[in-house]
Structure 1
């Protein structure tokens, strides 16, 4: 049986209404993100900017700063939410996420090393380094704890230990190389305020690739909802499916971290919210998880602008405030269940 709680599938009318409401909130989130911030823009200027009917300073401010920032926030949210969902499916661990399992921290360490050793590297090149770091971080966690179905707390503790180890190394490198990494402490918390069209262009190919493979493998990923022994008895290559799943996680999470830093807890929180709303059917759960992840990060980025107004705050601060207590709740709940 699945290690997740099986919930009755919601009626189609409810799901259609749910997706419609989420879509409306996403549209609202895009508009308020474009309109409000350090500079307030009138609705007329906003309309002219998004329809490219003006080239004044305010129009360019929207077109070159806020539009790519908002799009990047949404895409990063989709990446992290889907990576979190797939991590939980592959490990059958409801408290799993790329952030907790050392994937984000490994990618961050690798990106920082690449920028120190090769300061002229482009964003595209740093993405490949992020993939290498994400793979090494995940391998380190799994080598310490394994991926057995009943090792929820052990796997989480190993992931937290590796996360803090790699994060400490990253921070140490930044402190010792302040001349080349003076702007990375802000990035290290997870931020999208510096995102431009270059970041959007870098992310989109990885988004299309990762999500396409995810959808193509969706029938196979349904095997992850049952025990390995049952899947093997049906003649299914369950380990191959898990390997492809983790590669997709590394693809989505690695590209997100390389672009905007290790924004935490999105991949932990959103899949649980999506399951609560829509149940376990992957055909509904996957798109809902992606949309909710994008929705969360668009609004988190918007509200993070006012935490220390008029100065910018990393969006990772807000996601950590939301996700940290949720992780503690899940860890305590699963710890009591394993006793």
Structure 2
């Protein structure tokens, strides 16, 4: 029996190593193809010279100032959205929950557009601040409608979240139309796009990435308790309400900063945690980092695919994530509905 347990433990260890290695290799490949292929042809030699800063030709500058920050932004935003989705599902105990479905992304979008309309010289830090306030307002609105967390709130949460999402999205689009902000770049931003990302965006969002990852790591034992029933966690000395509040605050930071940079990219925060959970189980210490890596992988490849939808013109990455995520959400909703019946 002991030998069997040791073999099972070793098997799980090798499985984890394989999954993480494969995910990291996929991410590296995605970064390389994202840097190499696009509207302009770039050779492998030119790419290497640009990444090692050995040249100052037009092609080198093109990679260093356009493609590289765009790819890094896609990685960072993918990590933000994936972890925000995992945290939302943990804090609400609901597999259908995500910042997108929960109204957080739509609230952040509305606040950013409102800031663009109302504030002169609206800076990227102003965008961050407004996004955080809007994300918090969206979450509180949906939370007030569902009236709690409970295990049987799946359909109620989905209905409340989608209703709030469409309401806030309609207000956002109305603001753009009434104030003549409906430019191509703004429409791209509303769908979700990283094609305008620059080094300023990377430098702005990176501190929130570090803060979010550090806080997530420190709170990991407490977040693990959220996977239990509230009564059991409280009996073990866990302050469930405080931990849940910290979790939602992290969701607002991660999701709000991502929306401020790239707009409300949909469904990454919903599908990635489920994919990671199906591969690795509910071991949160392994689930969280795998979710982060897979989030980066998904958004990098989705951004790469979006370049060729209407080549040589750009398309928003949100088109690709929505095409993948919408059927996945319907599948999850039907699966949970069948489980309850």
Residue aligning to 1:251: 253
- The reply to whether residue 67 of structure 1 matches residue 68 of structure 2 is yes
Per the alignment, residue 269 of structure 1 pairs with 271
Give the whole-Å Cα distance in 2 for the aligned partners of 1:182 and 1:24: 35
- Deviation, 1:188, is 0.1
Residues 302 and 31 (structure 1), Cα distance of their counterparts in 2 relative to 1, 3 Å cut: same
Equivalent residue number for residue 4 of structure 2: none
Question: What is the CA–CA distance in structure 1 between the aligned matches of 2:296 and 2:223, rounded to whole Å?
Answer: 22
User: 1:45, CA displacement in angstroms?
Assistant: 0.7
Quickly say closer, same or farther: Cα 1:180–1:161, change in 2 above 3 A.
Answer: closer
Shift of 1:180: 7.7
1:206 aligned residue: 208
SS of match in other structure, 2:226: helix
Q: Per-residue CA shift, 1:72-131, capped at 9, x if unaligned?
A: 000000000000000000001001100000000000000000011114111111101000
Alignment of 1:1-339 (within 5 A): 11-146=12-147, 147-179=149-181, 183-339=185-341
Unaligned runs of 5+ in 1: 1-7
TM-score of the pair, normalised by structure 1: 0.96
Could you tell me whether the CA contact under 8 Å between 1:95 and 1:268 is conserved in 2? yes
Q: In 2, Cα distance between the equivalents of 1:237 and 1:85?
A: 20
Residue 4 of structure 1: aligned partner: none
**Aligned 8 A contact 1:174 1:182 in 2:** no
How far apart are 1:179 and its partner, in Å?
4.8
Moved beyond 6 Å, runs of 4+: none
For residues 277 and 138 of structure 2, the distance between their equivalents in structure 1, rounded to whole angstroms, comes to 27
Residues in 2 aligned to 1:312 and 1:118: alpha-carbon distance in whole angstroms: 29
Describe the shift of the 1:185–1:328 C-alpha distance in structure 2 as closer, same or farther (beyond 3 A): same
SS of the residue 2:308 aligns to: coil
Return the alpha-carbon distance in structure 2 between the equivalents of residues 308 and 227 of structure 1.
49
Take 1:128 and 1:213, find their aligned partners in 2: how far apart are those partners?
Answer: 19
CA distance in 2, matches of 1:21, 1:112: 39
C-alpha separation in 1, matches of 2:337 and 2:107: 26
Structure 2 CA distance for aligned equivalents of residues 337 and 25 of structure 1: 34
- Partners of 1:181 and 1:170 in 2: CA distance: 14
With over 3 angstroms needed to count, the CA separation of the structure-2 counterparts of 1:179 and 1:229, relative to structure 1, is: closer
CA distance in 1, matches of 2:24, 2:76: 15
Deviations 1:25-59 (A, max 9, x none): 11111110000000110111111100000011110
**Cα RMSD after superposing both structures:** 1.3
Q: Structure 2: how far apart are the matches of 1:303 and 1:234?
A: 47
